[in-house]
């Protein structure tokens, strides 16, 4: 059995990955299995740089293959903000949503996309990165209770529901994270031996 550590402190991301990896021949470990893990500073200037930082730090500390994602919401009318600062944009999910809706008050162009870059690291180096996106629009008020982050105000193209009104399974069929994951899985299946380290 191959092992991989999901290098995230975000339990919602972890739950999405647990579902995505369900049925694969890979055992998912989390940072909860490594008490005392010192989270690295995310000081990169792109999603890719931050994903690399997180995956590499976990791979080195846990001494097993690891992956991490850096993700966020890019709003067209805000020149791509909050982007890589999506998590730091405000203190809580509801404050992040309120702040974004205020910035977009009266703004006609509500186009946005979620981006996710997954980095996989093994044997002390980043092996590869994979990018996924999902395009949509920012609603004028939050809708739905599922998901996390900006999900209640993001409506993916082709749906009349917000991400937070979709089930995790439905979100996992179309999300930025799922799209990046599908690319990563294809790569891992071809290169399965990178996960064959002793645990
Ligand atoms: P880790 O770095 O520990 O993985 P994090 O939450 O800090 O956890 P990021 O630095 O990648 O993760 O920040 C991503 C932020 O972007 C996240 O906190 C949400 O606010 C937002 N975000 C990312 N993916 C999202 C999704 O699927 N739905 C809603 N919001 C999302």
Task: Name the active-site residue from 63, 70, 160, 197.
Answer: 70
Please give the pLDDT value at position 90. 98
Half-sphere exposure of 135 (CA within 13 A, CB side): 4
Q: Decide: 51 and 118 in contact? Cβ < 8 Å.
A: yes
Q: How far is the CA of 40 from the centre of ligand 1 (A)?
A: 15
Let me know if 70 is a catalytic residue. Answer: yes
If you take atom 17 of ligand 1, which residue's CA is the nearest one?
Answer: 87
Helices (H), the chain: 11-21, 47-62, 93-103, 168-174, 176-190
pLDDT (0 to 100) of residue 11: 94
Q: What atom of ligand 1 comes closest to residue 16's alpha carbon?
A: 27
For ligand 1, atom 4, the nearest C-alpha belongs to 8
pLDDT of residue 196: 62
129 lines ligand 1 (CB under 6 A): no
Give the pLDDT of the chain (199 residues) as one tens digit per residue.
788 999 999 999 999 999 999 988 888 999 999 999 999 999 999 999 999 999 999 999 999 999 999 999 999 999 999 999 999 999 999 999 999 999 999 999 999 999 999 999 999 999 999 999 999 999 999 999 999 999 999 999 999 999 999 999 999 999 999 999 999 998 887 776 666 654 4
The continuous run of DSSP H or E covering 6 comes out as strand 2-6
The per-residue pLDDT for 199 is 45
Q: State the Cα–Cα distance between residues 9 and 122, nearest whole angstrom.
A: 19
172 lines ligand 1 (CB under 6 A): no
């Amino acid at each position: 059995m191959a092992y991989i550590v999901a290098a995230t402190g975000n339990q919602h991301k972890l739950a999405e990955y647990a579902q995505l990896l369900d049925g694969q021949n890979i055992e998912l470990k989390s940072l909860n299995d490594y008490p005392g893990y010192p989270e690295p500073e995310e000081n990169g200037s792109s999603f890719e740089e931050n994903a690399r930082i997180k995956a590499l730090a976990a791979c080195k500390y846990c001494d097993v293959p690891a992956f991490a994602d850096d993700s966020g919401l890019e709003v067209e009318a805000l020149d791509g903000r909050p982007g890589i600062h999506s998590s730091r944009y405000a203190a809580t999910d509801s404050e992040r949503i309120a702040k974004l809706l205020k910035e977009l008050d009266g703004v006609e162009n509500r186009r946005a996309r979620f981006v996710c870059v997954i980095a996989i690291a093994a044997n002390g180096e980043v092996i590869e990165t994979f990018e996924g996106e999902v395009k949509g629009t920012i609603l004028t008020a939050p809708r739905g209770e599922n998901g996390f982050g900006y999900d209640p105000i993001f409506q993916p193209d082709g749906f009349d529901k917000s991400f937070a009104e979709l089930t995790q399974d439905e979100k996992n069929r179309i999300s930025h994270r799922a799209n990046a994951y599908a690319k990563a899985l294809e790569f891992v299946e071809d290169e399965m031996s990178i996960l064959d380290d002793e645990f």
